[in-house]
Structure 1
């Protein structure tokens, strides 16, 4: 007897994804003081490949078929793993605060919607609906309230801003590329291929870093959660969400990440949680609700 329908499960998947994905900035808070960004990410990708390999071996998951499938997955790995994470972690390493990074990367839903609107033909079901535009605008307003106060404090400079913009471009293009070119396949084998491509791109950059890795307990914990929670968990959920849903609706959930991160930071690190954060969270949630309603 089936106790929970697949539809009911998928209704809670986005919320679970937001909770896990939001911990990425918390992990950076713990891990960044103890490791250079490319070195940390290289270890993350390598351990993720090992974990995916064990999972695939035990489950008998099927590998993607054909060179084209592997090639498309490799491109998404370069964009959504190496480009996105590399840009975020390097920007934080150069002094850009987590709030500012979240605000910049949080523009992804707007860029995705703009691209879809520009590419859609009249009558095309992929065109972004007016209600979705309203939701995206509302979400952006809430996002700006949450992290906007962290801007203009001298933490933004040319190099770290360019790295954050690289992360934004990578996650946006990677999401659209996956939706357009990657055929449905097992999330475990797809994730393994993506990690292999990301490791191949990141490892040479890690070799150029001179700072050593300090295997502090916080570093080990951050690395473990990055592999088990963020890569095997959140990245796999994002892959499945993109395969099952419209790109604009899926990426709108990323609007909830910065407010959720702010709430986590308030609990874990005692960071102030002001009225702007609470109001921004409410606006962002309302914006996501509008986008999801239009998508349905």
Structure 2
């Protein structure tokens, strides 16, 4: 059962990149994202009003505002860059791999920013991960797809937005229930994407069947499937298990994109993805906690409903372990 749940989670989460590709030719990114989040936010708000009032008790306006900013960074900013990069022609596999370096980058930055310990082995893992990104990105660019070079910087903007959200969340001392944070994040995204669509004159959805297929794909597979399985596995197996599965997204997405859309997948792409997986193995081997390290941590934050922990972080005694902010459902 565990293997089936893990496989379903990887497929559902990876489906977000594929769904973005499906809708890339039918509508601007803002329109697709608005119609993805408006119905979802409406449902979550109704559920919160009817059955989740207790989870909201004790939250101040400042707590809600902080969660809104975290949602704007980890969900709205991230997804807009992912969808925009794919619409610009960057392959779904390359976008997924760049996104997948977020836990490594954020974990490495905890050293200089939060004064937490990062080992040499873990720095080696970060270097391998960056090398994998370079290999896959250059292979994608060399495939003759006509994508502008600057387009490959767009996913890095999204990854940076996730890192910023991670550090903002790490400084929060308030425990926020996952259902509450997801409701705030999705509502924030619905408002922001509606404003973006209105500002660009693209509020009206296209009549094409492909657009609504993409929206349905994203809501059913990426949001309910990906988010739901994420929390189920997190409760049953813990954050380390989820982190490990997250790093399988890039190779699965690359193979899926190659089979479904004919995206390039040659020896260099395979080598880059292998380097990324090697980075994960190195990082997790170097992330064993020293005796006496604090294990209490904070509650796992949600964003798109998903969180990414930071396997590079080794907390010192008394330090709170930094947890990642979810990359809101692709």
TM-score, structure 2 as length reference: 0.70
Aligned-pair distance for 1:151?
Answer: 2.0
Q: Paired residues, what number?
A: 279
Say whether 1:261 aligns with 2:253.
yes
Say whether 1:118 aligns with 2:112.
yes
Structure holding more helix per residue:
1
Residues 1:115 and 1:148: Cα distance change in structure 2 (over 3 Å): same
Query: CA offsets per residue over residues 99-156 of structure 1, 9 Å max, x none?
Result: 55445444423431332121243xxxx4222222222222333343344301254412
SS at match of 1:205: helix
Q: Measure the CA separation in 1 of the matches of 2:45 and 2:220.
A: 13
Q: Measure the CA separation in 2 of the matches of 1:190 and 1:235.
A: 13
**Residue number among 211, 215, 220 corresponding to 2:212 in the alignment:** 220
- The answer to whether the Cα contact below 8 Å between 2:141 and 2:149 also exists between their aligned partners in 1 is no
Partner of 1:284: 276
Partner of 2:120: 130
Aligned-pair distance for 1:201?
Answer: 1.9
Say whether 1:188 aligns with 2:182.
no
Aligned residue runs from structure 1 range 55-74, under 5 A? 56=48, 60=52, 62-64=54-56, 65-74=59-68
Aligned-pair distance for 1:272?
Answer: 5.2
Uncovered stretches (5+) of structure 2, i.e. residues with no partner: 289-330
Query: CA offsets per residue over residues 154-212 of structure 1, 9 Å max, x none?
Result: 41255x45643432221121123223326433222210111111222221110123455
SS at match of 1:184: coil
Partner of 2:27: 35
Partner of 2:78: 84
Say whether 1:24 aligns with 2:53.
no
SS at match of 2:286: helix
SS at match of 1:35: coil
SS at match of 1:139: helix
Q: Measure the CA separation in 1 of the matches of 2:7 and 2:119.
A: 23
- The answer to whether the Cα contact below 8 Å between 2:96 and 2:253 also exists between their aligned partners in 1 is no
Query: CA offsets per residue over residues 44-77 of structure 1, 9 Å max, x none?
Result: 1112213334555676474332223212211111
CA RMSD, 1 decimal: 3.5
